[in-house]
Structure 1
Amino acid sequence: MRLSHRSKYLAIFLLPLLLANCSRVETTPVQQWKHAAQATYAAALSSDGRYAVQSSVQHGITIWDTERQGLMYQWNHRDADENIVFALAISPDNSHVVSADRTNFALWRIADGENVGYWQLDESSVRDVAISHRGRQLLIGKSNGNVLHITFESGRRLLFLGHSERINSVAISPNGRFALTGGNDYMAYLWDTESAQIIHSFPHPSRVTKVALDPQGRFAFTADSQSTAQIWDIQTGQLISQLQFIARQQIFSAVRFSDDGRWLATGAPSRNLALWDVQTGRELQRWRVSPRVGSRPPSAAVHAVAFFGPDQLISESSSGLAEVWQIQLDSP
């Protein structure tokens, strides 16, 4: 086949771009532990990777100590056979876990495994949850577009009405003062949980499917259902970078900022786990988690990711596996 002069130019021009966006994909974890006999509906990791919590049909809600690799507790919602827990979060200080099915949510204490309480929503259904330090404040994204902020000590409930369509993802700052929410209205909002006033608006070209906050108060991450994933400066609301990928559609199911603010780790429903440079949006390294046993074609969704020490990541996926991955970056 002969290429025209124009086609040759395009081929030469595109090749470096393609190579620049391609990373060697690692599929062999440093360590691997089975946390569920079969597939899991949801999972969460603590910010330091110390604790992992999962939800599955076989085991209900289970929480593991990843350092000792021991099962700590096994929990169930009321009427567990009817309610599937699909949303989980661990507080930034490793003190509490929040779990939610479609209409009920519960708070658990990690120190002794005790249940703090069960609650039921009176309207709409739960879409996502987030929790602050010491389990003091809870954020619930709902299917009717509302976001509920609860302060447990005072019983105060604040309803954020900024979104016009279904909520897909929520995040809360460790002190509970700020919330980041994204929905089907193509918008993500950073807002004050004391006044419900919007601080910054982050518009997208399609529905916002994932949001995350840097616990140090520097960055916000927002991503939509098509091809836009962005990192923002929380103080100014200005764009820092946009993740650079060539896929026509890229959906993220897990996100975590590194403590030093240099890196962003992401997981996807396509088994992909990736490390990004926060300032440039450039992909630095990529892995693929193990697929679910018997899945055809081989598949698994990454439910959660965390930095595990200075040079490793830990992931929890729908395969029921926790896996540790080595970060190996080329020297500049």
Structure 2
Amino acid sequence: MLGLYGCTVPGTEPDNSWRLVEEGAYAADISPDGQLSVVSGINNGIHVWRYGEAQPLFQWSHQGEGNNLVASVHIGADSQYAVTSDREAFALWSLTSGEPVGFWRIDESTIRDIAVSNQGRGVLVGRSNGKVMYFEPVSGRRIEFLGHQERVNSVDITPNGNYALTGGNDYVAYLWSTQTGQVIHTFTHPSRVTLVALDDAGRYAFTADSQQKSQIWNVQTGEPVSQLQYIARQKIFTDAVFSEDGKYLLTGAPSRRVYVWDVQTGEQVAEWKVAPRENMTPPSAVVYAVGFIDPQHVLSVSSSGLAELWSNSSL
């Protein structure tokens, strides 16, 4: 894989691209196996796509006939359920039947990010007031994590739903138990934490801030593994996924960039540049979601409304 990715350059043409929504997207996620994408379109609601198919599997909507305002999307590690949210409400959906499981409104403060565990058992909701809610739709059990002092920006959950990783404007990311609310590890940053991600196999955590620290941690010990190596004064990331073998971290950015990093060294081993959103001046696009199709191919979905497939062009 290292040899495969070693000679890619910015601006490389994708192997293939598909338009998932017209007029661009607000949010997206790709399943861990790369086979499903859930995309919130600016004009036409939420679409669920299976990789390589010409028509969407399902079309969903929060607001009925009103404007789509869904800005957060997450697919569970087992690809069975997805959660979607706007600022005031979240919905849980079956990816098998396409049917909604439930719809819940949050009155206290706006929703910043969401995540769902396997079989839709647990939903994690990060909010602007610093509180994080863990909620089990079937039992109705609910626990609030009050560790953050300021707005929560990013959340992730382990496949079994037992642990949550959350990061916020208080310069801290916490790994904590959804059963007890107890903090397991504290990851500190010099600026606000903008993105967190967990390895589904339970090996690593990734936390990134608004300036220069983007760190991979050993999730068992809480010790640092590597810091992403880049020269730029700052790098902001919008999505992060670990490869199945644990060797690579795949990230998306608001700068149209998709990167692959070596987990153990933090060195960049690949970079691609997605297509800009149409009629944007200057040309721009935010990479909302990234995923591994297989060890040789990467999929991205961006605010342009396009899914793009990437590999080494010399193969």
TM-score calculated relative to the size of structure 2: 0.95
For 2:88 and 2:201, how far apart are their aligned partners in 1? 32
Which structure: larger Rg? 1
Runs of 4+ in 1 over 4 A off after TM superposition: 327-330
Quickly say closer, same or farther: Cα 1:29–1:190, change in 2 above 3 A.
same
What is residue 126 of structure 1 aligned with on the other side? 111
1:108-187 mapped onto 2 (5 Å cutoff): 108-187=93-172
What is residue 89 of structure 1 aligned with on the other side? 74
Count of equivalent residues: 310
Q: For 1:59, which of 17, 20, 44 is the aligned residue?
A: 44
Q: Which amino acid aligns with 2:236?
A: I
For 2:156 and 2:52, how far apart are their aligned partners in 1? 26
CA contact under 8 A between 2:61 and 2:68: conserved in structure 1? Answer: no
Q: Which amino acid aligns with 1:75?
A: W
Q: Extract unaligned runs of 5+ from structure 1.
A: 1-21
SS at match of 2:37: strand
Q: For residues 96-144 of structure 1, give each alpha carbon's deviation from its aligned partner in whole angstroms, at most 9, with x where no partner exists.
A: 1111000011111111111111110121010000000011100000000
Q: For residues 56-114 of structure 1, give each alpha carbon's deviation from its aligned partner in whole angstroms, at most 9, with x where no partner exists.
A: 23210111111324311111113552560000011111111111000011111111111
For 2:276 and 2:68, how far apart are their aligned partners in 1? 25
For 2:310 and 2:65, how far apart are their aligned partners in 1? 33
CA contact under 8 A between 1:130 and 1:140: conserved in structure 2? Answer: yes
Quickly say closer, same or farther: Cα 1:264–1:106, change in 2 above 3 A.
same
Q: Which amino acid aligns with 1:162?
A: G
Q: CA deviation at 1:260?
A: 0.2
CA contact under 8 A between 2:45 and 2:68: conserved in structure 1? Answer: no
Name the % identity. 51
For 1:107 and 1:69, how far apart are their aligned partners in 2? 25
Q: Which amino acid aligns with 1:310?
A: P
Q: For 2:196, which of 205, 211, 217 is the aligned residue?
A: 211
For 1:157 and 1:139, how far apart are their aligned partners in 2? 10
What is residue 229 of structure 1 aligned with on the other side? 214
SS at match of 2:119: helix
For 1:186 and 1:23, how far apart are their aligned partners in 2? 34
What is residue 3 of structure 1 aligned with on the other side? none
What is residue 4 of structure 2 aligned with on the other side? none
Q: CA deviation at 1:329?
A: 10
Q: Alignment RMSD, CA only?
A: 1.7
Moved more, 130-139 or 58-67: 58-67
Q: CA deviation at 1:37?
A: 1.0
Q: Which amino acid aligns with 1:45?
A: I
Q: Extract unaligned runs of 5+ from structure 2.
A: 1-6
Q: For 1:29, which of 10, 14, 25 is the aligned residue?
A: 14
Q: For 1:287, which of 272, 275, 278 is the aligned residue?
A: 272
Quickly say closer, same or farther: Cα 1:329–1:221, change in 2 above 3 A.
farther
CA contact under 8 A between 1:83 and 1:102: conserved in structure 2? Answer: no
Moved more, 81-90 or 200-209: 81-90
Q: For residues 195-253 of structure 1, give each alpha carbon's deviation from its aligned partner in whole angstroms, at most 9, with x where no partner exists.
A: 00000000000000000000000000000000110000011100000000011011000
What is residue 249 of structure 1 aligned with on the other side? 234
1:312-327 mapped onto 2 (5 Å cutoff): 312-327=297-312
CA contact under 8 A between 1:60 and 1:80: conserved in structure 2? Answer: no
SS at match of 1:64: strand
Moved more, 140-149 or 76-85: 76-85
Q: CA deviation at 1:292?
A: 0.4
